Amino acid sequence: MKIQIKIVVLLLVIFITYTLIFSAFVYFSISQYSFADFYKRLEIRAATTAKVELDFQKNTASIKELKSEYLEKLTNEQDHIFEITSTTSLDKEAANTKVPVSFIKEIIANGTGNYQKGNTFFAGIKYKSGEKEYAVIVSAENYYNTHHIAYLRNVLITLILVSVLFILLASFWVTKKIIKPIQQITNKVKKIGSENLSLRLSLPSQNDEFANLARTFNDMLDRLQTSFETQNNFVSNASHEFNTPLTSIIGQADVTLSKSRSQEEYVESLTIILHEAEKLDKKVQALLFLAQTGFNGKSQKFDKVRIDQLILDVKLTIEKLYPVSKIHIDFSLLPETPEKLKVKGNEQLLHLALTNVVGNACKYSRNQLVTVSLGATADKIIVAVKDNGIGIPENELQYIYDPFFRASNTKQFEGYGIGLPLARNIIKIHSGDINVYSLHSQGTTVEIKLPLGNFSI
């Protein structure tokens, strides 16, 4: 059963249950009130009848005429009066009045009594006139119960049916509006495959559960896309990058083995082979680490990381690698609250990413001044690394995240083209963004944005 139908059925059940309970309460409350009110009317009639018949015997005719003219007429109204004495036959009086003996005994004992037989209601009182006591019983059909209460019952039934129809239509309309974003997400996700992983879900304007769902899907697609790209590029990159050092190793070995050589020549050849093997080993390690950061399904341990402290640690690391480097840390835009300096992440991976970015800035600026700035918005931490180095040619900026790609103006610098792709993968693991702005021969700025960690103070 579809969720929409389940919601409609659930709303119908809740509404019908509530309506039935409410209608039953109204119906029975008014019915009981109608009964009590009618009994009260009959008691008043019984008292009036007793006064007319027993206290105003001389003017009975005129009083009866006034009673008939001005008092409300009740359907099939009848009255019965008998004297209460020790010799009164209660069975006989009960048979004449068509009521049970217990009803007459109730009147005698309590002074009043009520009895219902079908839709005919009986009310009786004990009345004292002079030295004698009488039982006065008045009966009539309850017109209000047969007509007004029946009308109320029909109105409530009609109201329930109309309400059910209304809530059915309203439920379908409301659930359609609720389910529509889910259907849109489902249809969009169905269109996304391995051939177009760059597609993303559009985020709703409202920051609600559906927006969170869409963001979650987009984060998952980011991880999948990076994983696919890493896997697709790994073999081709590995075969290409391994070819040069392997060719050098094989060629050097062939030349060395082609004829007998002196010990010095063998040492020289082995030194060349060792150097090429070390380069090959570095590339293998770099490729393996790049693959491990490519969302390969292994969970990373995330914890609270203070970015300002991390930047200071990166500065110390770079100064050990490049002793002549000049790094200026700009904390002028530092937020006032320490909580806006914390992200949820893996400290070692973030340290590696920032070390690669800052290290590249120092290397390609020939150890000129590199500025690392730190700032924050309401929901992000921003790290900007700016250098005045050789820059990147504009037509090559689109390839900077390809593993092993190196710009055409970097041939005189040592490197393997792994640092920036590795940094991008790490930043993506942390749901962040990395952007590179560069002008040839004028320098490069790398901007890293990381979401603030949701930590309690």
Query: Residue 267's domain is classified under what CATH number?
Result: 1.10.287.130
Residues 142 and 23 in one domain: yes
Identify whether 101 is part of a domain: yes
Using alpha carbons, select from 202, 284, 283, 279 the residue that is nearest to residue 248.
279
- Point out the domain boundary residue: 278, 295, 312: 295
Mean pLDDT of the chain: 82
For residues 310 and 289, membership in a common domain is answered with no
- Mark whether 311 and 438 lie in a shared domain: yes
Q: What does the pLDDT look like over 173-191, one tens digit per residue?
A: 888 887 887 787 788 888 8
Which of 337, 330, 346 shows the shortest CA–CA distance to 384?
330
Q: What sign results for the dihedral spanned by CA atoms 258, 264, 269, 270? A: positive
Q: 139 and 9: one domain?
A: yes
Name the pLDDT band for 315 (thresholds 50, 70, 90): very high
Mean pLDDT, residues 303-315 taken together: 92
Q: What is the pLDDT of residue 296?
A: 47
pLDDT at 65: 58
Percent of the chain with pLDDT strictly greater than 90:
16
180 belongs to a structural domain: no
**What is the pLDDT at residue 364?**
92
Say if CB 318 and CB 327 are below 8 A apart: yes
> Do 307 and 447 sit in the same domain of this protein?
yes
Whole-number pLDDT of residue 422: 84
Same domain, 353 and 442: yes
Task: Give the end of a domain, one of 277, 295, 313.
Answer: 295
Looking at 272, 295, 318, the residue that finishes a domain is: 295
pLDDT tens digits for range 392-437 = 999 999 888 887 788 889 888 887 788 898 899 889 888 899 999 9
- 360 and 277 together in one domain: no
Confidence check: pLDDT of 105 > 60: yes
How many domains is the chain partitioned into structurally? 3
Q: Is the pLDDT of residue 50 over 60?
A: yes
What residue type is assigned to position 326 of the chain?
A: K
Residue 337 pLDDT exceeds 80 = yes
pTM equals 0.48
Q: Domain containing 91: what range?
A: 3-149
Least Cα distance to 358 among 308, 307, 311 occurs for: 311
Amino acid type, 438: S
Give the pLDDT confidence score for residue 3 in this predicted structure.
76
Is residue 311 domain-resident? yes
Task: Find the CATH number of the domain harbouring 327.
Answer: 3.30.565.10
Position 77 confidence tier, pLDDT thresholds 50, 70, 90: confident
Co-location of 24 and 96 in the same domain: yes
- Between CA 39 and CA 52 the distance in angstroms is 20
